[in-house]
Chains A and B, each alone.
Chain A
Amino acid sequence: MNQGEIVAGFLAPHPPHLVYGENPPQNEPRSQGGWEALRWAYERARDHLEAMQPDVLLIHTPHWITSVGHHFLGVPHLSGKSVDPIFPNLFRYDFSLEVDVELAEACCEEGRKAGLVTKMMRNPNFRVDYGTITSLHMMRPQWDIPVVVISANNSPYYLNTKEGLTEMDTLGKATRAAIRKTGRRAVMLASNTLSHWHFHEEPTIPEDMSKEHPQTMAGYQWDMRMIELMRKGKMQEVFSLLPQFIDEAFAEVKSGAFTWMHAAMQYPEIGAELFGYGTVIGTGNAVMEWNLRQAGLSMLGAPGESLTAGAGGAQRNNLDDSRRSV
């Protein structure tokens, strides 16, 4: 069996507007473009992903909400038409995806062993949520890489941010263990917007970019502050600010994907590459990459880990555990 590897993690937001603006053959509505800065950002992310040649993409989505535990798609092939319940005018997409069921089952089992409630979704008629489909399309429109799709347990909302994100930290570590044990070469996708204040009415022409702008100045300023920290690799500071960011910018990272991904990557103190930032109906969206392979942090070892940690890895291993449980 190959040694497991987490090649990289991407912040991969899911506004369906980006698919709509691109006009791919899978999506029924046609647009006049729009949101180019974000779509071109995704084009660069696609190029990077192509070079990584991963076995699997793992994605945590905020739009498959579950109340009893963390769920994993467990059907080898799923297809159908996904119509966005919020933006049915923009997103009516024919999808077809392959699930890495073996890895999903391993994630489910590792999560259970870590004390989480976990469950495999085995119903072949299940409709995959539009957030998952949007992020996956924007990262890999060829749909030729198997995926692991994880639900968003509503604990950050039902309980509180701290308890919820602590669960996501545990889920991330369990996901890392599963990748290691199955020997996968994995790329992780956190399907999250940043600031999430948004318009309450849609422009008459949705892709009229003269109407697009941040919904609030405070949200925009928060996004810039957090992105700058991420670019500089100050992830410890990012995570210490995360609860305040969530409260003050209504940030969607509350739903857990960002914490899950960074926990799986062991919170690397490495600079992220920003491919682009833009607003969609006022929300803040950034496409970003943390490249662990470039940093020499990608290979997963036995429990205890740290096979190829360079300077970043040494820094990583000195992190205070309390920060990891934001």
Chain B
Amino acid sequence: MFILLKRIILAGWLAFWRQGALTLATVFVLIMTLSLVTSLYTFNYLTQFIIKQVQNKVDISVYFKREAQEEDILEIKEEIAKIPQVKEVEYVSHQKGVADLLQRHPELEDSVEETKDILNLACLNIKAFQSFQYASISQFLEKEPFKNFIEKIDYLEKKPIIEKIFYLTSKIKQIGFVISAVLAIVAFLLTFNQIKIAIFNLKEEIAIQRLVGASNWFISGPFLVQGLISGILACLITIFIFSILFYFLSPKLIDILSGFDLFDFFKKNFYSIFLIQLVTGMTLAIFSSLVAIRKYLKI
């Protein structure tokens, strides 16, 4: 058994080494496939990152009546934080509210000075997990005892834009998934076809192996080993290409990608990316070899 395994591995290695052009073509196609898989993985991460950033900017604000004291507002904040649909509640004090307003609109300084005793600019900014949850949060706050303190909830004003953002981000996710699935199928077919062509070129050799009495495993084993080596080599080359690419592209793309640091992402996810490439490369090569060779083992 051991001697058979040793011979299969050695034959696979020799075939890998000697069938230069075919091996090169297979490794090249595998590199293309793995690059596509890595790009899809990165694209998926990037999309999630941007979607999260956009969704994080979505919130509703609750404004309070003049007579509402800070303690009342903080108490309400505590209550709101207990609602399961609420992801985050941020308290903005009257002073901070005034400062923020003046920072955005310095021309309003005189008006703010005149009305500072009758206006309460303290507010609570609430973020929900999903867009549809804002309506129920808003309804909850319109009931007793909160409504006695609350001047206004800007949910209705923001509703169309919130729904639009969530609709768009969910569409982007769906489209991303469909594109990924289609490209993954294309990548698989590319690899499968390349390996099929490589094995087709050796069908005469397989026929001779059958005629001299080689068992199915003795014939297909070296092809599997060859596929395995091609998969590993393609994985190593792809990971090297991507590390160089991300290292140099990252500083240039960081602004375009809303602060997404490609190289940092690559470093943090190195083992996952490496594993995905390795498993994809090896599985594709072995599976394609097995399926392609089956046809020629029927002699």
Genuine A/B complex? no
Residues of A at the B interface (CB closer than 8 Å) are none
Give chain B's interface residues, CB within 8 Å of chain A: none
